């Protein structure tokens, strides 16, 4: 199980999506002010013998925002040997990185490798537009600053924001237990409204620890 294979076991981790999703989801979710998906469908295989699938294809449908072109936004996740369709690669010059995200808009696309700087496509269309250079961040220092300075100091991935990203990611992991079935989600109630069974998997009873002492 060590150092990393525990993540692929249903009883201990949440698969490749749960491992990498929070890192890769963050930029597109924050970039267009997404909240939580209204439906999730897994088109890959389900978990087998307590193991998460090693190939995933999951569709999240988010409500649209003031920064999206429609009332909803389709958000796809791929991992393992399953790769995005060729038109996605074509939109960003024909080649995709080993991991990262592609955001396709009405007038172009952004390719963001994990880890690396973003590029705008078509490159000739955006050649004159500079990509901002972001200041370096240190997660450990941000956390310590927030602890030491107290109220009013927040981390770039503060709990109010990070908890929503984590919830969105884990809904994808939930959908992997129900291949090809579209799960509709009521974000306010934190409940799946299309199926009863998934709701029993949203929480679990934790193992108990008992402490004993001699009198």
- For the stretch 50-69, pLDDT in tens is 899 989 999 999 999 999 99
- For the stretch 183-204, pLDDT in tens is 999 999 999 999 999 999 998 7
Q: What is the pTM of this model?
A: 0.89
- Provide CB contacts within 8 A for 141, sequence distance 6+: none
Q: Give buried/exposed letters for 144-157 (b at 16+ CB in 10 A, else e).
A: eebeeeeeeeebeb
- Provide CB contacts within 8 A for 172, sequence distance 6+: 17, 21, 40, 42, 56, 58, 60, 77
| DSSP of 55-101 | SEEEEEEEEP-TTSSSSEEEEEEEETT----HHHHHHTTT---SSEE
**How far apart are the C-alpha atoms of 28 and 56, rounded to whole Å?**
19
From first to last of the 215 residues of the chain, give the pLDDT tens digit. 678 788 899 988 999 999 999 999 999 899 999 999 999 999 999 888 889 998 999 999 999 999 999 899 999 999 998 899 999 999 999 999 999 999 999 999 999 999 888 999 999 999 998 888 888 888 899 889 889 988 888 888 888 888 999 999 999 999 999 999 999 999 999 999 999 999 999 987 777 766 666 55
- Provide CB contacts within 8 A for 132, sequence distance 6+: none
- Residues 120 and 113 sit within 8 Å (Cβ to Cβ): no
């Amino acid at each position: 199980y060590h150092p990393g294979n525990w993540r692929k076991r249903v009883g201990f981790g949440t698969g490749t999506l749960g491992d990498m999703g929070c890192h890769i989801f963050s930029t597109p979710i924050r970039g267009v002010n997404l909240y939580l998906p209204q439906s999730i469908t897994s088109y890959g295989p389900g978990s087998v013998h307590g193991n998460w699938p090693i190939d995933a294809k999951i569709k999240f449908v988010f409500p649209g925002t003031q920064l999206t072109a429609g009332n909803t936004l389709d958000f796809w996740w791929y991992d393992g040997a399953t790769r995005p369709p060729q038109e996605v690669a074509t939109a960003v010059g024909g080649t995709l990185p080993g991991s990262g995200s592609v955001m396709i808009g009405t007038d172009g696309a952004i390719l963001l490798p994990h880890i690396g700087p973003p590029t705008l496509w078509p490159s000739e269309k955006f050649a004159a537009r500079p990509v901002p250079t972001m200041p370096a961040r240190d997660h450990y220092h941000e956390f310590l600053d927030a602890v030491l300075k107290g109220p009013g100091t927040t981390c770039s991935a503060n709990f109010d924001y990070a908890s929503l990203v984590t919830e969105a990611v884990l809904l994808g992991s939930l959908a992997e237990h129900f291949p090809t079935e579209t799960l509709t989600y009521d974000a306010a109630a934190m409940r799946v409204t299309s199926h009863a069974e998934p709701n029993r998997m949203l929480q679990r009873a934790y193992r108990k620890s008992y402490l004993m002492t001699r009198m």
